[in-house]
Structure 1
């Protein structure tokens, strides 16, 4: 059920126990993937899992924060402070509307700190349980190990394969020199360093991408997320005691 497509009487009658919120960013992803890749992939996984589990799907939050890729045209980066406040307000509204478990499907690394801070903050004043899933890290781990030939990255083999599977009409032809991998010995911050990093808005080897690889990853990711949602419907949290 898509939250935004319900009338208020329909929403009042709906089962609001579990809801899913996809979040991403608008930023450069090479010249072969669209600016909205991170949000689009979070939406894809969240929509299918929510539909399969029969739970509410909130409208996505497309915007996030990025600091290296804002040098590329089309990137939209909002401050971490604004992002934190936005997440916190949405979480509070979900709680006010009767959601017990909110699963955030995040598609962008730059959002992680703000999501964690907002989730921790609202836990002090509400009964809402927030579960943050960085989907490219937390889901389909085994599937990734089986099909990927190179390291995961940004607009790399993994992300390009996933977009080929989910949104093939948005994937452009790659140049022969699409690959890029840059490392720093330490954590380096500053405009001079940023100019030398991600010159192609790529971190990885998109030349190794294939639609079939993306299909394997996405099937596993959707199934794992769907399973979590079904557990939450039964009030079972993903908390395990190590033996």
Structure 2
């Protein structure tokens, strides 16, 4: 019976709910992507498709409930491109908090963010730090893969383009989608636009400005997607599945984070007495 239990939230029945909570150790994965241009060849939902598929593979190894498609992230830097879905900053902050609150109201105490969009980490970390402002009955975990030298060497040996410029819809990201969903790719268009850094800015690299990305990559394309291969995509996906499976297992077994978080809230409350 447990093997028949769906992992996706929207595929569960209410009569499955308790079993899903128990089997997942009250852990819910929240895959977050975005809707934005990914070169002239990859789908707008590349980031979401990527993490959604990784989650689907991981929960076969380590069960957790997976929240349905979520694409309300930070993407103001691509609003000039057709198909971009960008909401106001205050709204996306309220949405992610309300979503996590509602996930918790349904019985989950651990929410694991699996992010697929490079423009989200700063926003996600700010949201998570904001969680400490008021008491929560749940903990949020942001999965951020660490370096793996052996994998890095294998990846480098299979590359056909320079790693430095492979930032968005380039060889690696295109390879992943080419492996996961070749039917969605338009590889004959991959070289129809330039993915090179235009280097239009004159500021030194230690000075930040929000227009930095558009300044360098006005096509919202950074890399050489035409050099992608399914073999490279499989290498990346297999590594991501293995790494996230280990992290998810550790999160499910963790008892300290909620305990320490509650201790913190109690001390904050104690200052007002």
Q: What's the TM-score once normalised by structure 1's chain length?
A: 0.85
**Any conservation in 1 of the 2:171–2:226 contact (CA below 8 Å)?**
yes
Q: Which residue of 2 aligns with 1:231?
A: 250
Q: Larger radius of gyration, structure 1 or 2? A: 2
**Any conservation in 1 of the 2:39–2:220 contact (CA below 8 Å)?**
yes
**Any conservation in 1 of the 2:40–2:193 contact (CA below 8 Å)?**
no
Q: Deviations over 1:70-94 (max 9, x none)?
A: 1111111112211111111111122
Q: More deviation in 74-83 or 137-146?
A: 137-146
Q: More deviation in 113-122 or 79-88?
A: 113-122
Q: Which residue of 2 aligns with 1:37?
A: 46
Offset, 1:69: 1.6
**Any conservation in 2 of the 1:3–1:56 contact (CA below 8 Å)?**
yes
Q: Which residue of 1 aligns with 2:239?
A: 220
- Aligned alpha-carbon RMSD (Å): 2.5
Q: Which residue of 1 aligns with 2:191?
A: 175
- CA distance in 1: counterparts of 2:90 and 2:147, whole angstroms: 28
Unaligned runs of 5+ in 1: 239-243
**Any conservation in 2 of the 1:83–1:114 contact (CA below 8 Å)?**
no
Matched residue pairs, number?
234
TM alignment of 1:1-243, pairs within 5 A = 1-14=7-20, 15=22, 16=24, 17-123=26-132, 124-134=134-144, 138=146, 142-148=150-156, 149=159, 150-151=162-163, 152-172=166-186, 173=188, 174-175=190-191, 178-183=194-199, 184=201, 185=204, 186-190=207-211, 196-235=215-254
**Any conservation in 1 of the 2:39–2:193 contact (CA below 8 Å)?**
no
| Closer/same/farther in 2, CA of residues 127 and 34 from structure 1, 3 Å limit | same
Aligned residue for 2:28, secondary structure, equals: strand
Offset, 1:145: 4.3
- CA distance in 1: counterparts of 2:48 and 2:56, whole angstroms: 12
Offset, 1:106: 0.6
**Any conservation in 2 of the 1:84–1:117 contact (CA below 8 Å)?**
no
Offset, 1:200: 2.6
| Closer/same/farther in 2, CA of residues 129 and 67 from structure 1, 3 Å limit | same
Unaligned runs of 5+ in 2: 1-6, 258-273
Aligned residue for 2:30, secondary structure, equals: strand
**Any conservation in 2 of the 1:68–1:197 contact (CA below 8 Å)?**
no
